Amino acid sequence: MSAQHSIKLIPWDDRDFVLAYDRAAEGLAALGIRLDQPNAPAEIQRRLRADGYPNATCYCEQTADNALAQRARCVVSRDAVTAPMRG
């Protein structure tokens, strides 16, 4: 069974941005990089920026349960949303 990842795309209704994310995610998968791995968010962000979205950001939240299940919960934004502060 493959890992189930939760991806929140902002904006979700920008078709071109969604397609750019799909290309970036497929590129990572082809390299064997899973979204739950530490280098995945930076690579998604790098690929989106190279694909014409200079303000794109990506971050993934990691809980112990998600880590054990090799799942990721990620936010991918076209317009620079930052990760929430950890306190």
Angle between helices 40-50 and 15-30 (to 10 degrees): 130
Residue 86's pLDDT is 47
* pTM of the complete model: 0.79
Residue 31's pLDDT is 94
Chain segment 33-55, per-residue pLDDT in tens: 988 888 999 999 999 999 999 99
Residue 69's pLDDT is 74
Residue 71's pLDDT is 77
| Residue ranges, the chain, pLDDT below 70 | 1-3, 67, 81-87
Using DSSP, state whether 28 is helix, strand or coil.
Answer: helix
